[in-house]
Structure 1
Amino acid sequence: MAAKDENSNTVLQGIARHINCLGEENRNTRKKALERIHKETLKRDTPLEATDLKVIFREVLPPVLKIFSDPVEKCRELSVNLISSFLKSVPEPEDHLYYIIPVLVARLGQQDIIEPSEEQRLLLIELLKQMVECSGKKMAVYLDDCVTILQRTVIDPYPEVKKESCKCAAFLARSIPEHFHMLSEALIKPLLIAIAHQHSKVRTIVVESIGDVVQYGNGKTVEPVISHLAQRLFDQAPAVRKSVIKVIGTWLLNLPDRYSFFHRLVPLLLTGITDEQPEIAELADSYWHDVGIKYERENEDDLKDKQDFAKEDPKHYPPNVERPNLGCRTLIMRHLSKILPGLMKDITDWVLETRIKSAALLYVLLLNAEEYITQHMEIVLSGSYRACMDEEPKVVHDVQRACELIGYFVSPEVWCKIVLNNLKSSQSYGSLMVTAAVIKGSERQSLKPFLPSICETLTLSDVCHSVQVGVENASVHVQLLSCVSSICTVMKGDIVEIGLPLFTLCLTVLSLSQDEQIKQSAQSSLETIAISHGMSSKQDLYNKYTVEVIQQYNDNYYTWTNHTVERQIFDTLLLESGDVMGDLLPIIIPILVTNLKPDKDPEMRLKFFTLLSKLVLNSGSTLDSRDKFSEHAVTVVKDMIMPNCTWRAGRTAGAIRTTAVSCLWALLQSKVLTKEKMEPIVEGLLTQMITTMEDDNKSTRLIACRVMTRIFGLMGGSLNQDRLHNIYPELLKRLDDSSDEIRIMVSKTFLAYFDCFDKGYDPELYKAHLEDLFRGLLVHLDDPEPKIQDALLVVLKRAGQIHPGMLKQEIESVKHKHRSVKYCEMLLQDIQVQ
């Protein structure tokens, strides 16, 4: 023992001069003194015994600690390193803390930064961390001083100091929890300041430090940090989010007061399950499973009945999803009422990231809640309606998934009342989207009794007859089709009983939508319904349901206007139904007649005539598919077309006349108007067409001339001779028309007109008429336009067959007045041949 003391004394004598030099003014002297002390004590070729080092350290420590405040940074660095090295080497280093801690407090624990060097502050906090690690429980005496230092260094400007301070705080909390809990609150505020640092590594370590400080602190520290940890779940760095999940998971498993904070911590852990990083999601799921298992063990008495008499897993359960354990489900059941209000508020928050996370959390929450959702239907659905109208697709997608779970876990008897009542009152596409999602998740047999009421609600005019414009309108149509798709997917062949309302819904969307893609979706839905009915094509659906749809309008078709939704559906139905219309003429024609009366909305009549024209042009596969349209053709002409050809002021009225006469032309082209059918109405029709030939609109006049041509061709010699004589003056007027196209058309009309003169016609008796007719035609034989002259030459050749001599006489009398006798000569030559 004496030898050992003599050894330490020898070393102390050897470094005595160096220790004295630590007080010199010359910086180099102090620096060299520190280096020599280090070399002659800790770096000797023959290492000293630990007991010798302890004796030496007791003498060296005070003068070296003074160098901690040396103006030279290098000297301060060497002094800290020297102390650190001694603490690693001497036994019972905690015996020297009463010297060191006050110095550290003076350098690091002041309100203002005393130590200007970042690197030096890092060395000092590393020294403190070293002392905490080596002292263990004995550090409790210096806990106040340590907390004072860490309060400052955790918010130090230098990131490395922050990280080491957080690690030191975490180790301190783990080392002396029985004492630490009394002062843990003092570290929370600086840690929460540091948690938002720009470096992700700093944020990660801060989160981990918070985990230990709260774990071994008191219950008051939990509440202030939860919102900050929740914000870190939005962190762009996966490492930060992962550290949050580890902290929350650990708290839920081990925090002494965790039962008081389940409702605050569980949502954070469940949010981790929805993380975009698979590693984080798996970690959170693993923690959640362990939390549930531990909760079961801790509450074994309360859950004994459920464990002993556990029900089988539901047969109707979301596919490819592992069912949470009993503990997890019970935890959610007991805390759902506290979690949902805040969550449903966040799901419509103005911050996009908050809405995305909240929507994803809602799905996980409801998956764990299962049938307990029933008690919270109102709050879940009210928030879901709004969230489904979010602009962010991911939010909408996750809310739809969550609403599907309502269908899986809640009886239709419960959700139908709430969902359908909201649908009736709101008529928003958000309500329709929720309805479609809930139906999609429902079980086939349990849903079946409620299908009639669901379809009845969906087909209400307030729900499906949307007349809004833009995106809102398109969204309503898309969601109506989604409802149809969900019903078809769940019910399959059972939809036969509700085929009519489903057909009506698709037809409504097809009629009202302006989007081609939506219309294609409606056609696809009709195909799906047809397949579910066991039909070969959607045409069979029209054959089955068209009559019933039209009969629904028997009570209101006489009140239709241009904007009436039923009218638009009627239009689409007639255009799409195909050959089934041939059997429905007795109920279709009265509707058309009523809505084409002159006192009806002009724009509506215009659209009805457009519809009628399309149908007539394809009459073989529509109106006349059963060869029965000819029975109604006279009604179409007499009660629909002719009343609308009467002149009325205004552009709309002019457009109606054009469309009406076009429809008549299409009808004549279809050949369903036979000579026998025409006879009772031909007089009135000719009178109307003569008037129409004088219309202001060029197209109307042109089509009227074509109609006249077809009438003459159809009726032939059955027309009264006197009636024929009354018509030619009107035809001659059209040869003066401003349009050459009409003049040429009238020339063709004259050819058909002359064909109406039968063989028994007496030219001498009607000589005066023929003279007027020939003179009028000969005037235009000298027209400036060659094509008009050519057309009139053909007409006069035909006219000359009635009375060649009279025509020759009229030619001779006017030939000298013509600018060119070419056509007169050609005509005379033709007569000579006759």
Structure 2
Amino acid sequence: MESGLKEAVSIGQLINFLHDPNRNKRKDGLVQLSNILQSESSENVKSLFSSKLKPALIEIFGDSSESNREKVIDLINQLLSQNKINEDDIPHIVQKLHERLGHDPCPETCEEIKVKESVTLKLIATNHWNLLLPSFGYIIDIVCKQGKESSPAIKISIAEIVSILCDSFGDRIGFSSKRIFDSMRNNLYHQQFKVRLQTLTTLGKICICEGALIFEDIIVDFKKLQLDRRKEVREVLYKVIGDIMCKLQYTVLRSFEGKLSYLLLGGFSESEFAWINEVIDNVGYRRKVLAQEFTENVEDYIMSDAGEFLILRNLQELVQLALDDIQEWTMQDHYRSKAASILDYTIRAAQNHITPHLDSIFKVIFKAYAQSEDKAFSALFENCIEKIGMFCDFDLVLTLFRKFCLTDITSPTEKSGGLILFAKMLNSLLLTEDRMKKIVSFIAEKDLSDYPEIPKSLQLVIESLILQAKSLCISHVNSLFHSLLLLENSSAQESVQKTMGILAEYCGLLSVSDLYATQLPTALPLLTRDYRNWDSDSKERSLFKSLIVKSGSAVSQYFDTIVEVMSVNSQREKDSEVRFTMLVILENSLNLSELDNYIRSYCRKILESIIVPTAAWKVGISNVEIRVSSMLCLEKLIGKMLIEDSVLVELWDKVFPVVKTCLDDDWDKDLRISACRVIISFFEFYSHILDEILVSGIYPELLKRLDDSQDYIRMIICVPLEKLFKVILERGIRFGNYKFMIETLLVHLDDPSENIQKSVKNVLQVARLYDAETFLELSRSAQHKHRHPRAVTELIEESQNQS
């Protein structure tokens, strides 16, 4: 040591200076040490640092003098950059940095020193990452605290440190990803774009390490950054998203790939980002490999190009996200324009695969187009409609135009915009005689000339058709002429005359009958696409009922979908009209014997998700009708024995309580009668599942009905009471409340109505067989109290003879 290190005595003195009470001496010592150690060999400095220098320097981390604290950090950074500190000493430095930077409030108050200390941590993370695992918690505390600092330099350094940690400890960073994200999130909107750039890059790496914890939040930030004022930030954003999708774990990717793909497609609206195609292709290629590796059901489009595959894989979500953004009027116009651009590209890539989503697309586009005052924004919708006309089934597209242009579901302004879109579509449509007939029929189907907003739009449709059809107009001249004639006295009169001249040149068009061919396989998905949001005004709800009811047994192969729709729309929060419609569908299905096996296989869901919620009490007269219908359906389910025994036993605690509330309803006698019929059917077809526990829960409810205000109910409730005792006798069920029940029945045996006496007597004739001695005792006691003792006397005599 003496031979290798110059001025050893001087160094010892300088180290002593570091402990001197005079801060100026401490500062001089640091300055001179820095100069001396600069030229010393690495091994000598490492030895000196470990043996003598480390305690003194670490002590000055907390020096009262900002200048001294800054000097010691400069010296540490100098030694770290020259690799003159032993690896064993690194954790001590990290620990001291944690004491200064990792607490709240932060002991270190000088911003310049914080900047240099963040550089220290960055040097350690860069050159000694393999030593950081024991100090990982300290480092996380530091970055989470310092990530919120106001200094741009600190923000950038912290982001770089986290980036290094992600590269080195990807499996460990996940546990702290939410903390780090929360501390750095606001930096995405910092005024300095370099801070935004580095933060964005770092958070992208965190997503790859553990995206599931932060994706819901960071996707919102990614979306905002699409409108960042700096092109560099937007460019990095799309590259980060592509990198995430190329490296993210499969399970996490599946959960968020739709939203990420949507954001990535937003790059197509940036004309200078031509490279976005390559990014999307890379992501699509990786997604295709994963789909094959994990055997996803993608046979329909596995042969597509990589980019198209990505879009088709997430088509439903992409369409929905675009439509949601287009409809969101609280968003900036740039977002809505970007959404329209994404929708345009999605339709172009998906081609005919977009068909199942056309209803939703048309609904949104018609409204947005009608309200748009931006020509570029409107042009995007025109492009969408043109592509739909090229790629999708023409009959379906025309049906949708008919739905949105000729029905009352759209306003006159939206109808006008829809007709303009139709005219734009005709400009690029390949016309055949068959299509011509259908378009003419569409034009002539409804007189729209009374709406002041529509004539000009309809005139554009007719003119576009004539110009495109040319000689095909010959066979349709009368219909076209008639349609134009309806517009003669409208605001489009001058334009109509011009169109008349064109028609005269190319000839006309004849009317044809309407096309209304609809099949269950295509109609059902369209009608039920938004079934979770049905309410009393939903047209699809009534169409769904008509479709199912009129399709008869053909619905069997779609019964799972039908049951799901009925289940969702039978819940208590749904409108009464919706719930009643579902019960009508269920009752119709129960009347079709061809569906019995399908109903039996779904009996659990039908009971739990349809019968129980519709039979439960809910305020309102209309709900009584629903509960009665529910009881009728339950009676048929039981009467046809479509419920598995095990299912009924398992769901007994859910089903019987709602039946009980129907039995107890004071408002409507029909509801009580329907519930009684359910009980009667149950005892007739499912009495074999009864045990002591079920019996103890049923009989009190049956006895209550003997006090009903309606004699008819009092009579019919005796049927299950009689069956109850037969089951008890046949199966040897122990019945502890026999005495109470006989006493109650004997009271009602004295009813003035002979019909009720007869019904109760039938019950008692079976009940006496359970315990003849007790029965005789109770009957004799009641005999002296009855006003009409004949019935009880006959029972006593029969019992004695039987004995």
How far did 1:70 drift? 2.4
Answer yes or no: is 1:439 the counterpart of 2:421: no
Q: Is the 8 A contact 1:155 1:190 kept in 2?
A: yes
Partner of 1:296: 288
Cα deviation for residue 64 of structure 1 reads: 1.7
- Partner residue of 1:166? 159
SS at match of 1:341: helix
1:384 aligns with 2:379: no
Deviation, 1:331, is 3.0
Structure 2 CA distance for aligned equivalents of residues 274 and 240 of structure 1: 15
The alpha-carbon distance between structure 1 residues 135 and 422, as it changes in their structure 2 partners (threshold 3 A), is same
Q: Does 1:429 align with 2:416?
A: yes
The residue type paired with residue 116 of structure 2 is L
CA contact (8 A) 2:241 2:260 kept: yes
Aligned twin of 2:309: 330
- Corresponding residue SS for 1:444: coil
Aligned residue identity for 2:418? S
Unaligned runs of 5+ in 2: 512-803
- 1:212-361 alignment, distance < 5 Å: 212-217=205-210, 219-256=212-249, 257-275=252-270, 278-280=271-273, 282-300=274-292, 325-350=304-329, 351=331, 352-361=333-342
Alpha carbons of structure 1 residues 33 and 294: separation in structure 2 relative to 1, 3 Å: same
**Structure 2 vs 1, CA of residues 7 and 507 (structure 1 numbering), >3 Å: closer, same or farther?**
farther
Equivalent residues in 2 for 1:544-623, closer than 5 Å: none
| Aligned partners of 1:94 and 1:138 also within 8 Å | yes
Distance 2:22 2:211 in 1: 51
Q: Residue type of the partner of 1:29?
A: K
Q: Distance in 1 between matches of 2:390 and 2:296?
A: 24
Per-residue CA distance 1:545-569 (angstroms, 9 max, x = gap): 9xx99xxxxxxxxxxxxxxxxxxxx
Aligned to 1:707: none
Aligned with 2:272: secondary structure?
Answer: helix
Residue 274 of structure 1 aligns with an amino acid whose one-letter code is S
Alignment of 1:110-125 (within 5 A): 110-125=103-118
Q: Larger Cα Rg: Structure 1 or Structure 2?
A: 1
Compared CA separation, residues 207 and 452, structure 1 to 2 (3 A): same
Equivalent-residue separation in structure 1 for 2:101 and 2:447 (angstroms):
72
Quote how far apart the aligned CAs of 1:294 are.
2.5
Residue aligning to 2:69: 76
Q: How far apart are residue 290 of structure 1 and its match?
A: 1.5
Q: Is the 8 A contact 1:94 1:134 kept in 2?
A: no
TM-score, length-normalised on structure 2?
0.58
What is the RMSD computed on CA atoms of the aligned residues?
3.0
* Equivalent residue number for residue 625 of structure 1: none
Q: 1:452 aligns with which of 431, 437, 444?
A: 437
Gaps of 5+ in 1: 311-324, 534-540, 550-834
Instruction: Work out the CA distance in 2 between the residues paired with 1:437 and 1:234.
Output: 30
Cα distance change on mapping 1:453 and 1:295 into 2, 3 Å: same
Q: Which letter does structure 1 place at the counterpart of 2:219?
A: I
What is the aligned length?
499
Distance of 1:392 and 1:431 partners within structure 2: 15
| CA shift for structure 1 position 460 | 4.8
Determine helix, strand or coil for the equivalent of 2:275.
helix
What pairs with 1:439-588 in structure 2 (closer than 5 Å)?
439-445=426-432, 448-460=433-445, 462-463=447-448, 465-468=449-452, 473=453, 476-488=454-466, 490-503=468-481, 511-513=489-491, 525=499, 529=503, 533=506
- Alignment partners' CA distance in 2, 1:268 and 1:491: 40
Give the residue type in structure 1 aligned to 2:406.
K
Among 8, 24, 36, which residue is 1:28 paired with?
A: 24
Q: Secondary structure at the match of 2:315?
A: helix
Deviation, 1:492, is: 4.2
Task: Report percent identity of matched pairs.
Answer: 21
The 5 Å alignment of 1:640-655 reads none
Change in 2 beyond 3 A, CA 1:218/1:342: closer
How far apart, in 1, do the equivalents of 2:471 and 2:85 lie? Answer: 84
1:208 aligns with 2:201: yes
For 1:120 and 1:530, the matched residues in 2 are separated by 86
| In 2: Cα distance, 1:305 partner to 1:247 partner | 27
Residue 301 of structure 2 contacts residue 309 of structure 2 at CA under 8 Å; is this kept in 1? Answer: no
- Between stretches 171-180 and 30-39, larger displacement belongs to 171-180
Give the superposition deviation at 1:125.
0.7
Q: Structure 1, residues 224-279: CA drift from partner, whole Å, max 9, x if none?
A: 2111111111222222211210111111111113233211211000011112xx33
SS at match of 1:347: helix
Once the two structures are TM-superposed, the CA of residue 347 in structure 1 deviates from its matched residue by 0.6
CA gap 1:398/1:33 in 2 versus in 1, 3 angstroms: same
Structure 1, residues 428-480: CA drift from partner, whole Å, max 9, x if none? 213213323443443333xx4132332233245532x0443xxxx2xx34432
- Residues in 1 aligned to 2:399 and 2:354: alpha-carbon distance in whole angstroms: 15
Q: String of CA shifts for 1:706-755, please: whole Å, max 9, x gaps.
A: xxxxxxxxxxxxxxxxxxxxxxxxxxxxxxxxxxxxxxxxxxxxxxxxxx
TM-aligned CA deviation for residue 490 of structure 1: 4.2
Letter of the structure 1 residue corresponding to residue 378 of structure 2: V
Q: Residues 266 and 28 of structure 1: is their aligned pair in 2 closer, same or farther, counting only changes over 3 Å?
A: same
Aligned to 1:370: 351
Shift of 1:344: 1.4
How far does residue 362 in structure 1 lie from its aligned partner after superposition? 1.0
CA spacing shift, 1:171–1:488, aligned 2, 3 Å:
farther
Q: CA deviation at 1:6?
A: 2.8
SS in 1 for 2:266: helix
CA distance in 2 between partners of 1:103 and 1:387 (Å): 60
Change over 3 Å in CA distance of 1:377–1:467 after alignment to 2: closer
Residues 36/191 of structure 1: CA separation in 2 closer, same or farther (3 Å cut): same
Shift of 1:8: 4.8
d(CA) in 2 for partners of 1:490 and 1:291?
Answer: 41
Cα separation, partners in 2 of 1:306 and 1:340, compared to 1, 3 Å? closer
Q: What is the DSSP-based 3-state SS (H/G/I as helix, E as strand, rest coil) of the residue aligned with 1:183?
A: helix
Deviates more, 1:481-490 or 1:53-62: 481-490
Task: Report Cα offsets for 1:127-146 as digits up to 9, x if no partner.
Answer: 11110000123222221111
Q: Is the 8 A contact 1:390 1:396 kept in 2?
A: no
Q: For residues 521 and 187 of structure 1, do their structure 2 counterparts lie closer, same or farther at Cα, with a shift above 3 Å needed?
A: farther
Structure 2 residue identity aligned to 1:55: S
Q: CA deviation at 1:53?
A: 1.7
Contact (CA 8 Å) 1:108, 1:115: kept in 2 or not? yes
Matched residue type, 2:421: V
Distance in structure 2 (CA, Å) of the matches to 1:13 and 1:443:
97
Counterpart secondary structure, 1:217? helix
1:341-362 Cα offsets, whole Å, 9 max, x none, are 3331221211223322211111
Q: Kindly tell me: are residues 172 and 163 of structure 1, through their superposed partners in 2, closer, same or farther at Cα, counting changes over 3 Å?
A: same
Rounded Cα–Cα distance in structure 1 between residues aligned with 2:226 and 2:302: 39
Task: Find the aligned partners of 1:18 and 1:372 in 2 and give their Cα distance.
Answer: 79
Pick closer, same or farther for the CA change 1:13–1:213 going to 2, 3 Å.
farther
Q: State how far apart, in whole Å, the 2-side matches of 1:268 and 1:335 are.
A: 12
Distance 1:528 1:158, change over 3 A: farther
1:553-612 Cα distance to aligned partner (Å, 9 max, x none): xxxxxxxxxxxxxxxxxxxxxxxxxxxxxxxxxxxxxxxxxxxxxxxxxxxxxxxxxxxx
